[in-house]
Amino acid sequence: MKISWRTIVLWSLPALVIGFFIWQGAFAQTAVNMGNNAARTRMSYGRFLDYLQADRVTSVDLYDGGRTAIVEAVDELNNQVERLRVDLPANSPDLISRLREANINFDSHPPRSEGAVWGLLGNLIFPILLIVGLFFLFRRSSNVPGGPGQAMNFGKSKARFSMEAKTGVLFDDVAGVDEAKEELQEVVTFLKKPERFTAVGARIPKGVLLVGPPGTGKTLLAKAIAGEAGVPFFSISGSEFVEMFVGVGASRVRDLFKKAKENAPCIIFIDEIDAVGRQRGAGIGGGNDEREQTLNQLLTEMDGFEGNSGIIIIAATNRPDVLDSALLRPGRFDRQVTVDSPDIKGRLSILNVHARDKKLSNEISLDAIARRTPGFTGADLANLLNEAAILTARRRKEAITMREIDDAVDRVVAGMEGTPLMDGKSKRLIAYHEVGHAIVGTLVKEHDPVQKVTLVPRGQARGLTWFMPNEEQGLISRSQILARITGALGGRAAEKVIFGDAEVTTGAGNDLQQVTGMARQMVTRYGMSDLGPMSLETQQSEVFLGRDLMTRSEYSDEIASRIDAQVRTIVEHCYEDACQMMRDHRVVIDRLVDLLIEKETIDGDEFRQIVAEYTDVPEKERYVPVI
């Protein structure tokens, strides 16, 4: 462990002070003893007077202003001269006269000045050492965020400032969000060439709010703006305004905008603005006054009485539903840019960006990877290629192949690969379960095609069946939802038909949750039931700060019973269809299970080829679920 010299000084200060006082006392005592000529024997004052009267005293040296005397006297036993110390009383005015009358040599020695000097130093050195120690202590704590040395800096903004931000990210490094890039490129152009816009009466936007799910590239776009704009750039997180002391957040907002006005035109980027911009007055018992005061100050600085011309605020959040309405109005955040998950074209562009520094084999098709990863964000795709590169290095290969890509997709979606199952009843049951999913996905017309079926465990799943959509699905039809419900019930249907009700396992627990959720949404949200085209539940399913906690139900108990009945009807109908498919295609299912147990993984093309050998139904005449 490395210890700095400041720490050594601070820890050694008490020992130095104590040692100094001990040394001072010892030195003072030694000085007195030396000044008194180191007399070994003491003599009482009365005996001294007896010796004086008997003419045995030869000389007297007076010290300490006449309070101590060193006497040379002749011993009455051996007639030798001895040096004796005598403590004189305070009132002995006739002593000098008696010494003169007895014709005894005496001398008076003034007090030594060293004691006063050392006493003065002793009184000064402790305060000096204390002041020096406190100086080093506060200097050290000033480097610690929130330390005692920063007690006077609570109200200062913690924003990182760059006159010309060198983020290393430009708009060319951002892909898959072309619409958002276009909006933000216009803001950069406004900063660089404002005359192009002001000539026609346009004014610079005050704020741009980036909205989108996590990982879609909101912060990356902010870095690109900082790298492209060439103007002073302030970056801060919403949580850095919040402090335990009242009024600190508002003070930091004021300080941030004061610095920004001094460097205008400039850009302020506030990441995760929902930490400070939540709705005011929402919640049981009232809101957080400190956070609300911070938000009020932010609203005033963005568009208040004084204004802030030349300052553009860019904020990012993935929870726009919790933001205060005053923050979202024009004049504060003039633009709300949605940064959503990319489509297949966007995913291909993102893969091209992240594949620049990856060594890919010739067999790699980025287009195939883009098609296989619907719903992936930019962060997910970057993580996918990084996992593939790690697997390539672990397997000691020179370039990334499709095998590493496939394994990386499985790892990102389902988790780490587990230990393969041993042959036995459990493995055969799982094989029937997964083949049940896949056979329904192959025989139902509106279902997504099977990509692969595997018995290799990943995460909590003992086996997996992957489906790959043919195209981007912005809208989903009723028949597609029914097909997905039927496919999700295929595993449970296979267990029931093959092994019987007594051998049905808990493996379909997650499938049943998905099935119930889709069926309930069909009834309550999408109007796809006998209840008619009514939306009985809102999109907001989470309770926000108590605002929605005490709201009344949007439908009566009778409607609730009818909803439950409709959900049950949909699920039971799809389950019966899945069971019937298991009975009608038992031969091909057994063949596929034996092959799956042998190979542990069957890809989609091979699976469909085997199914086609046993079923001669053309694709256009395949099963279409109808209720």
Write down how long the chain is.
627
Q: Residue 233: beta bridge partners?
A: 162, 267
Q: How far is CA 90 from CA 45, 48, 50, 111, in A?
A: 12, 15, 19, 16
User: How far is residue 623's CA from residue 602's CA, in Å, rounded to a whole number?
Assistant: 23
Beta bridge partners of 335: 208
With contact defined as beta carbons under 8 Å apart, do 267 and 225 qualify? yes
Those residues with Cβ within 8 angstroms of residue 431's Cβ, 6 or more apart along the chain or in another chain: 455, 463, 593, 596, 597
325 CB-side CA count, 13 A: 2
Q: Which helix (H) or strand (E) holds 370?
A: helix 366-372
Tell the residue number behind the tokens 């609300």, with chain if given. 292
H/E stretch holding 207:
strand 207-211
| Per-residue 3-state assignment (H helix, E strand, C coil) for 295-355 | HHHHHHHHCCCCCCCCEEEEEEECCHHHECHHHHCCCCCCEEEECCCCCHHHHHHHHHHHC
CA–CA gap between residue 494 and residue 505 (Å, rounded): 11
> What values do phi and psi take at 61, rounded to 5?
-115, 125
- How many beta carbons lie within 10 A of that of residue 339, not counting itself? 28
Closest CA to 311 of 258, 262, 266, 257: 266
Does residue 434 have an active-site annotation? Answer: yes
> In this structure, which amino acid lies at residue 626?
V
With b meaning 16 or more CB within 10 Å and e meaning fewer, what string describes 230-255? Answer: ebbbbbbbbebbbbeeeebbbbbbbb
Paired tokens of 360: 């890919």
Q: In what order do the strands lie in the sheet with 81-87?
A: 41-43, 81-87, 68-74, 57-63, 105-108
Catalytic residue among 243, 272, 301, 434: 434
End-to-end CA distance of the chain: 72
Per-residue three-class SS string for 261-299: HHCCCEEEEEECHHHCCECCCCCCCCCCHHHHHHHHHHH
Q: What angle do CA 483, 484, 485 make, to 5 degrees?
A: 90
Backbone angles phi and psi of 207, in degrees to 5: -150, 145
Instruction: Give, for 472, the enclosing helix (H) or strand (E).
Output: none
- Residue 414: what are its φ and ψ, rounded to 5°? -110, -15
Pair of tokens at residue 527:
């109007």
**Cβ-count burial of 343 within 10 angstroms (0-12 exposed, 13-18 middle, 19+ buried)?**
middle
Nearest in space to 47 (alpha carbons), one of 76, 11, 26: 76
Structural contact between residues 400 and 360, judged by C-beta atoms closer than 8 angstroms: yes
Tokens, residue 308: 């802030």
Catalytic residues: 434
